[in-house]
Structure 1
């Protein structure tokens, strides 16, 4: 009997409740289910940009350009790698606690490209994307789910982290054909 491979793209560590919700989606299947978790590396450059973006224009004009040394940038990158690895481990532990068989990896490239590659690599039967709500990105169809629906040839389910199925009902999300 072949495994039913599910590729799971997440933005942050799953809680035990999130893991149980994901696992519940496949409880009735006869095939063994294997989850392949992808967690994008938190981007140190994005954190620097976000920190700079939080300064008002007046502060930017009045102060010299924020400069970081190579060692500070490297320390920030290492911190991001460590945080991503910790979140992946927590997610795999949460899935194991929910009775799931799961493997995972931190990915550094574009998340949807990594999702498409993993689906192809494992002959994935479906993809699940768990995100925090991104109202603006979703409105313009730039979110991961919209990109994945255009790129991969398996059903895509978009779940919002920390919300149960009833809380998500009616939001226009769910399984779609590729």
Structure 2
């Protein structure tokens, strides 16, 4: 079995799934895809934003009153991420591939490293929208993954149907 870990920023489109599968069509052994979707932590995001603004002492205590709302927001975020993962996995399965997936609240590169270790991943594919500034300074997921992993890392830009029509 050849295990490929996919770190995706958003749901795999049919076109993206086909592109990924085509990369491995001549593999002599079966391929299994492990789809990983990073999931935003609502509470940590709010707390980080408040701290970054230097207003933690103004709003920090009030954040405790917002915990229930943040928990509900997190449930919605997690639900959408699980749905995104499920649809992405199904698109790969519809192409006759073995696939599984999950979400993570960890930093994307930490989650990717843990997944590669857990499944014995032999290759990583990262699908994102273009992030010009992060890529220029080598702060993007792909460059981070290449620094942390000892497996091939491929970066694909997600298919954009709007740009394709132009």
TM-score w.r.t. length of structure 2 = 0.82
- 1:59 — aligned with what? none
Partner Cα separation in structure 2 for residue 48 and residue 155 of structure 1? 35
Residues 1-178 of structure 1: matches in 2 within 5 Å? 3-45=1-43, 48=46, 69-162=66-159
What whole-Å deviation, never above 9, does each CA across 1:115-134 have from its counterpart, x for those lacking one?
A: 11221222211100001111
Deviation of the 1:48 alpha carbon: 4.8
What whole-Å deviation, never above 9, does each CA across 1:4-28 have from its counterpart, x for those lacking one?
A: 1101111111011111110110001
Q: Measured at CA, do residues 45 and 141 of structure 1 come closer, stay the same or move farther in structure 2, by a change above 3 Å? A: farther
- Match of 1:136, SS? helix
Gapped runs of 5+ residues in structure 1? 53-63, 168-178
Deviation of the 1:88 alpha carbon: 0.5
Deviation of the 1:94 alpha carbon: 1.0
Q: Which has the higher helix share?
A: 2
What whole-Å deviation, never above 9, does each CA across 1:31-55 have from its counterpart, x for those lacking one?
A: 0000111111133247658x99xxx
Aligned length: 154
Deviation of the 1:163 alpha carbon: 5.3
Deviation of the 1:110 alpha carbon: 1.2
The answer to which of 116-125 and 11-20 deviates more is 116-125
Partner Cα separation in structure 2 for residue 43 and residue 21 of structure 1? 30
What whole-Å deviation, never above 9, does each CA across 1:72-124 have from its counterpart, x for those lacking one?
A: 11111111111111101110111111221101111111111111122122221
Partner Cα separation in structure 2 for residue 105 and residue 37 of structure 1? 6
The answer to which of 122-131 and 68-77 deviates more is 68-77
Partner Cα separation in structure 2 for residue 98 and residue 47 of structure 1? 37
Kept after mapping to 2: 8 A contact 1:4/1:34:
yes
Kept after mapping to 2: 8 A contact 1:40/1:107:
yes
The answer to which of 107-116 and 30-39 deviates more is 107-116
CA RMSD in angstroms comes to: 2.6
